[in-house]
Structure formats: C-alpha cells, structure tokens
Amino acid sequence: MNDWINLHALWEIVVFGLLAGAGLPALFAVGLRFLAMTRPGSPGPAAAGANGSGPAPDAVVGGSTVGMVLAGICFVIVVAAIGWGIYFIVLSSH
C-alpha cells in the first residue's frame, strides 16, 4: 500500500499543516487578544468608552503596555513564519 500512498509524507502534511495552517491563525488571534487588553484599572471592554476614561469600543488598541508587548511577540512569530514560508517556496523550486 505504501507504493500508492506515502503515509509518512501524509502524516507530516497533516501535523505540520495543523501547526502552520491552524496554529498560526490561532496565534494571530492570541495576539489580537493581547492587543485589545486595557490598562489595569480602566473599565472592562463592555463599559469602555462609555464614560470617556477607556478606549472607544471601535479602537483597535486596548492601551495596556504589557498587552502590546505580548501582542508584538505573537505578530513577530506569525510574520517570521510567513517569511520562512516564502523562503521555503524559493528554496523548493531550485
């Protein structure tokens, strides 16, 4: 049967496919979650913007410094993975 299907490659495509194809968007979502974090002490997202002290509900960044740093780390990993993907395309075609 292995003549017909390369089970080893299939297994690797599934595992790495899940890591890159599902893991990276999940990491991106984690980054967004950090980005939306509000400063400690400011009202939660539900009340934000209502009394003028928190960010407006349509603001992209929540305002927490720690959140922004953590978000930055997530986004750097995602961008690095994409860069590696492009490098991979160039490499595998030579």
Q: Which residue has the tokens 């407006």?
A: 56
Q: Can you tell me the distance from the alpha carbon of 31 to that of 83, in angstroms, rounded to the nearest whole number?
A: 18
- Considering the rule CB under 8 A, would residue 41 count as an interface residue with other proteins? no
- Is 17 a residue that touches other proteins (CB under 8 A)? yes
Encode 13-37: b = buried (16+ Cβ within 10 Å), e = exposed: eeeeeeeeeeebeebbebbeebbbb
Please report how close the Cβ of residue 27 comes to other proteins at its closest, in angstroms.
Answer: 9
| Minimum distance from residue 79 beta carbon to other proteins (Å) | 9
Binding-site ranges for other proteins (CB under 8 A): 3-6, 9-10, 12-14, 16-18, 20-26, 28-33, 35-36, 45, 48, 55-62, 82, 85-86, 88-90, 92-94
